[in-house]
Amino acid sequence: MNDFILIAVTDPVVGPEATHAAAATGLDVITCDDPRDIARHVPRARAVITDRTTASHVAACGRARDIFFVAADPGPIDFEAALRAHAAQAFLLPAESRDLLAALSTAGELLAPASVSGRCVAVVGATGGAGTSTFAAGLARTLEATVLIDGDPRAGGLDLVLGAEETPGVRWPELHLGPGQLDAADLLAALPVTADGIRLVSGTRSGVNDPFELSDETLTAVLESLQSHRVVLDGGAGPAAFFGAGWYDHVDHIVIVVPAEVRAAAAAAQITARCAAHGIPVSVVLRHRGWSSLATSDVEKIIHADIVAELPHLRRLARDMELGGLPLELPRPLRQACERVIEDLGWVEDPWDERGVA
């Protein structure tokens, strides 16, 4: 969850004072001064407290609000460092501890999770075969998303994953975007819909050499048109596909599915670093397939990110999906993993059913 305040302070006098003020808000408090840990926590923190030593590391995370700069009383305050970190306010501690507490309390109110209709979460795999598409489909089903988007239309089609290959509706190659903004209502009306109401922007299959290529412009146009809806994007697998993507500015959160294996963890470390550089919060799901060579703690050390859920090998699920797609009633381990990710997203359920927008 995002209900914590990050204390990135190295000063031995100021650090404890900042921690006391943060703890008084009732939120959890995380303290760290390692640049790698700072990069991991800053995008997900409700508020960040920094000082002169760590300001440049906080600034590198790209966060632009609810950052507070602290210095030891009687000062002076290094305002250049404070501005570099995009700090909203600066305080001398312990003299202005009460003022810091008031500012943190206000930030907590401003950042309290709100009921929202439009959010986009992308699911990416550290490597191929991680189960990215299966998890994306399961997450869309659990999250009750309006649309599930296939970001890799050459992968066989997400409609197969959900058993909707015979469902009528346009697929990527048939989606002709003219000049001007794409109308969301027209798009939603044209898409195939699953039995439980998820609309699919999916790839297709052809026995001939299909010249279709999904461009960044087309994908981002679809994402922009759906910005008032709840969307899950299957972003493909591997750092190469991820680094070449152009949809960073159109997603609110990224879920990384990581097999508990050395090469997969090494690949995931590249993805988490890129997410931190772009200020995009991540949730990591650890996937056990066959023999897992790494423990949870090993993977967390390699990727510098917390594991929010683990998914065991589901032997029966592969057979079920081959015969009819992902079951409407998800296997319990998959459902629980999706629920833990949704909890980590911190999104509040809408007071109305956004799917009623056919």
Question: What CATH code is carried by the domain that includes residue 327?
Answer: 3.40.50.300
Q: Are residues 217 and 106 in the same domain?
A: no
User: What is the pLDDT at residue 211?
Assistant: 62
Domain extent, residue 267, equals: 119-345
Number of domains composing the chain: 2
Beta carbons within 8 Å of 24's beta carbon, 6+ residues apart = 101
Examine the domain organization and report whether 135 and 252 are in the same domain.
yes
* Pair 133, 249 in one domain: yes
355 in any annotated domain: no
CATH code (residue 43): 3.40.50.2300
- 134, 174: one domain: yes
Is 353 among the domain residues? Answer: no
Which residue, of 54, 83, 110, is where some domain finishes? Answer: 110
In terms of Cβ atoms closer than 10 Å to its own Cβ (0-12, 13-18, 19+), residue 153 is buried
> Do 89 and 178 have their domain in common?
no
What is the strand order of the sheet 89-93 is part of?
A: 28-31, 4-8, 47-50, 67-72, 89-93
Do 250 and 334 lie in one domain? The reply is: yes
Query: Same domain, yes or no, for 318 and 224?
Result: yes
Q: Quick one: 167 and 42 in the same domain? A: no
Tell me whether residue 350 is in a domain. no
Q: How far, in Å, CA of 123 to CA of 136, rounded?
A: 6
User: Is 33 in contact with 9 (CB distance < 8 Å)?
Assistant: yes
Neighbours of 279 (CB within 10 A): 15
The answer as to whether 356 is a domain residue is no
pTM over cut 0.75: no
pLDDT by position in tens, the chain (length 358): 457 899 999 999 999 999 999 988 878 899 999 988 888 888 778 899 999 999 998 888 766 578 999 999 998 999 888 888 888 899 999 999 989 988 888 775 444 443 345 789 999 999 988 999 999 999 999 988 789 999 887 677 788 899 888 888 888 888 866 555 677 877 888 888 888 888 999 887 654 556 667 888 888 889 988 888 889 999 988 887 777 677 877 888 999 999 999 999 999 999 999 888 778 899 999 999 877 889 999 999 999 999 999 999 888 888 888 888 898 889 999 999 999 999 998 764 443 344 444 3
The tens digit of pLDDT for each residue in 148-191 reads: 999 887 677 788 899 888 888 888 888 866 555 677 877 888 88
Q: Are residues 139 and 63 in the same domain?
A: no
Q: Are residues 72 and 175 both part of a single domain?
A: no
- 200 and 71 housed in the same domain: no
Residue 138 CB neighbour total at 10 angstroms:
26
Shared-domain flag, residues 100 and 208? no
- Strands (E) across the chain are located at 4-8, 28-31, 47-50, 67-72, 89-93, 119-125, 147-150, 199-201, 230-237, 253-259, 282-287, 307-311
Q: What pLDDT, on a 0 to 100 scale, did the predictor assign at position 111? A: 41
Residue 114: predicted pLDDT: 38
64, 83, 110: which is the final residue of a domain? 110
Q: Among the three residues 62, 87, 110, which one is the final residue of a domain in this structure?
A: 110
- d(CA 13, CA 225) in angstroms, rounded, equals 50
